[in-house]
Structure formats: C-alpha cells, structure tokens
Chains A and B, each alone.
Chain A
C-alpha cells in the first residue's frame, strides 16, 4: 500500500492507558489502516474493545499514543475544528437552549453569520422550532440530533461519531441513520462511526472495520458493495451482515 496519498492514515498505532491501581492496559498493539476522502467507515467491535479510544486518538482528543495518525499529511496532535465529534453521551449544556448549545462551539465569524449557520444546521437535523428548548425538554432522539448539529456546525471535513444512536430505540435509530446519510450527501464529510450494531454498520458504511478483543486488532475490513439505497431485508445485505456476525459468534473460553 502506498501510504503517501492516503487522506487519513493510521499506522502502527499503539495505545496504553497508564492506570494507578491496576497494571497498565494495552488497548492497541499495532493497528494500521487508511481512509479515503469522503468515505463512510464504520468500526464494529465488542464492548470495551477500544472503539471509543480509537476515535479519541484519531480526532486528537487523546494525544497520548505511539505510532502515526496522519490526516491530510499532518500528524494529529490535538483537536481541530475541521474535525467534528459526536460523543457517545450527548454532553449538552443543560443551562443553554438548543440554539445556544450549538452556537457555543463556534469561536469565530460574526454574530449574524453564526446565527444563520446555527439556524441552517438545526433545520438540517430536523430541529426547526426547538431552538429555544432546554435539553431537559428534549427526547433522547432530539438530544442526539442537537449533539450531531453541534458537531456539524463548524462544517468539519471529518465527522467522528461514537455510538451516536446507541441509546435510542430501534425506530428512532433507523430514522436517524437515514438522516445521517442525507446529511453526508449534502455536506460530503468523511465519516467514521463506531457502533456495536452490525446492521447499522452495513446500512451506513462504505467499509466496515471489525475490531477484535484486547489488545484490539483489526480482524477484517469488509467492503460493503451495496447500492446507495439499502434494503435491510435484501439478500446481499443479509449476506454481509452474516459475514461480520461470524466474528462475534464464538467466544473463546
């Protein structure tokens, strides 16, 4: 593989959590993969295998790693507003309205423009009319929409999503998956989404990275060669789903 031309490159990534009471925890020993611009990557893996950790180091939230993470030719050392992050918990500020929550993360531009930006993005995630609601007045699905709006408002080139729909009911989840694809089509972001829902991964991804358990390694990278509008019940869809599912079927003793 010629790594020079890759948009995102993760090479020999090694991550250790130093812990006080236990011995240190080796999360990844050596992980390498590359992502093309505009790709939708899903990362699946068991609970606690290091999915959040992988997103955190890739987005610069955690810069304590060994190996290389290179985005657009630059080594990732800290967060950057060109990269958005949708956190696993929605992390909204309860003292701010929906509109203010989204506006908080914009740190440049003039007042007028920013107001317009926030308005557009809230419309995009289907929250028109809820601008002045407080987080406690929102349903889980709506809170997660705000969370996504907040990550999108700075027009990031890359969007990291850490189990964004994990806490939602099945119907809302399917709805938001569709909306996410619409957003991506409009904004053309590169997306990396962590999930433990294999069906969700097959529905959304161009490629699926399957992570194994501690220290996590890449078991497989599955190409999802399906049409843009995916039918969950189609044979091809189920084929790919089964293909990934088999990695999690047998537990070692």
Chain B
C-alpha cells in the first residue's frame, strides 16, 4: 500500500516535471534579459495580468461565453452526427451514395467556410455556432459510421436469427456496440469544436476568448494573447477529462 502511494506520487511528479522545468527556464531567461519582453512576455507579467483579469472577472466571462458557443455548436454536431451516422452506417446503399460527398467535405477546414457562412448567416451568433458545428460534425459522423459498419457480424447474427424488431436491434445492439467508436468521435470532436472557437470568434465577435486574443493582438498585448491561448488549452483539457470520466461510466463494460 505504501509503495503504491509512493509510486502514485512519482507518477504525478513525472507528468508535470517537464512543464515546471520549462516555466523555470522561461522565468530565468526573462528575468536575466535573454528574452525580449515584447516578443515573449515574462511569466511574471503574464501572472500579473492573469490575476488582474481574474479579479475583474473579465477572463472567466470571456471563457464562459466561448464555452456556451462551443456547447451549442457541439451539441448540434453530436445530434446530427449520431443520427446521420446511424442512418448511413446501417444502409450499404446510403453509405455508398454519401461516401464521396463526405470525403470531399471533410478535409475543408471550418476557416475556409467563413466567407460563405457570413454571407448566409450574417455575423451574428448563428454563424459562430455553425462554424463550431462544422468543426465537430464530420469527426463524429465518420466515427459513428465506422463503429456501426464494423460491428462483428457474428453478434449481428445472434440478433437476426431470432428476428429482432428493427428498433430494438438499433437501440439495444447497434448503438451500444458502436459506442466505443462513437465515444472516440465525441472526444476528438469536442477538441476540434473547441479549437474552432478562435476561428469562429474572428467573425466580428465582441466577446469570447477568440475575440480577447484578436483584440489583444491589435493592441500588442502579448501577455493577454498568451493568457487566452493557455485558457483555451486548459479548458480543452478539462472538457476532455470530463468526457473521459463519462465514457468510463457509460462504457464500464468495455474497460
């Protein structure tokens, strides 16, 4: 038992040692003047700005706004991705018909959609949510399709041998069997949706972390830019962690 606790501590230290080392070197290099503060602000400067932004709550507000947008776009991507994925995955014909379209649309980055999206939806909230949706949709769709298409035919045979009704087959067999794949899609998509937030908030936004970054750039506040970047990273990591826990719970049978 003691040994286990000990190992756990070492394991934890091992995972953060590099991070700490980088910060220390960065501190030293900044304080001794090796790094030009205009090119890369010092950790001290960033820390001060960070605390200021925490106290006036502006940072949390911007992050909250971004998370709200991402959740909206992401939920749309989840619902559309799973529904369409199930339909496409279940039918060889539909799969064959949609394959080329999906394969062509998928590599187009959400940023490339911006001109069209502004034209269609204006510069309001909808266009931002739509860009985030695009960032997650194809990842989920493709994982759902694959998950369903590669279900072990032997397991399917168990069901077809007893003439299982279609709906029962889909909800009790197909979806659970594809669940590990679906979850992979959900997790990757949450990451891509979230990292689209900056692109989405470039579209004439006046709030959000993406806006915070582009605004700070205009004023040459690199410390704010870096705080925005790190916030995006940390929130992304936390969201992935939450999904991971959810996956462990829902897919307990798989672990």
List residues of chain A with CB under 8 Å of any chain B CB.
Answer: 59, 61, 79, 81, 85, 87, 89, 91, 93-96, 104-107, 134-136, 150, 154
Contact = CB atoms under 8 A, between A and B. Distances in A.
B160 A89 contact: no
B155 A154 contact: no
Contacts of B100: none
Contacts of A61: 157, 161
Interface of B: 154-155, 157-165, 168, 172-173, 176-177, 179, 251-254
A104 B160 CA distance: 11
B218 to A, nearest CB: 52
Contacts of A135: 253
Nearest to B159: A104
A144 B32 CA distance: 71
A79 B155 contact: no
A95 B177 contact: yes
A79 B162 contact: yes
A87 B154 contact: yes
B179 A79 contact: no
Can you list the 3 inter-chain pairs with the closest CB atoms, starting with the nearest?
A: A79-B161, A95-B176, A105-B162
A91 B158 CA distance: 8
A93 B173 contact: yes
19 contacts: A61-B157, A79-B160, A81-B162, A85-B161, A89-B154, A91-B157, A93-B177, A95-B176, A95-B177, A96-B172, A96-B253, A104-B158, A104-B164, A104-B172, A104-B173, A107-B164, A107-B165, A134-B253, A154-B162
Contacts of A85: 161
Given A79-B160, A81-B163, 10 more contacts: A85-B161, A87-B154, A87-B158, A91-B155, A91-B157, A91-B158, A93-B158, A95-B177, A96-B253, A150-B158
A85 B158 CA distance: 9
A156 to B, nearest CB: 10
A147 B104 CA distance: 45
Contacts of A79: 160-163
Nearest to A103: B172
A149 to B, nearest CB: 13
Choose among B162, B165, B251, B252 the residue with the greatest number of A CB atoms under 10 Å from its CB: B162
A195 B157 CA distance: 21
A136 B252 CA distance: 10
A81 B160 CA distance: 11
A104 B177 CA distance: 14
Contacts of B179: 95
Contacts of B155: 91, 93
Contacts of A94: 253-254
Contacts of B161: 59, 61, 79, 85
Contacts of B176: 93, 95-96
A125 B164 CA distance: 24
A44 to B, nearest CB: 24
Contact of A107 (B157, B163, B173, B253): B163
A87 B159 CA distance: 13
B162 A136 contact: no
Contact of A95 (B159, B165, B253): B253
Nearest to B160: A79
A136 B253 contact: yes
B47 to A, nearest CB: 47
A136 B254 CA distance: 9
Contacts of A150: 158
A107 B162 contact: yes
Nearest to A97: B253
A135 B155 CA distance: 14
A134 B165 CA distance: 24
Nearest to B172: A104
Contacts of A104: 158-159, 164, 172-173
A158 to B, nearest CB: 13
Contacts of A87: 154, 158
A135 B163 CA distance: 23
Choose among B155, B158, B177, B179 the residue with the greatest number of A CB atoms under 10 Å from its CB: B158
A122 to B, nearest CB: 17
Choose among A104, A135, A150 the residue with the greatest number of B CB atoms under 10 Å from its CB: A104
Choose among A59, A85, A95 the residue with the greatest number of B CB atoms under 10 Å from its CB: A95
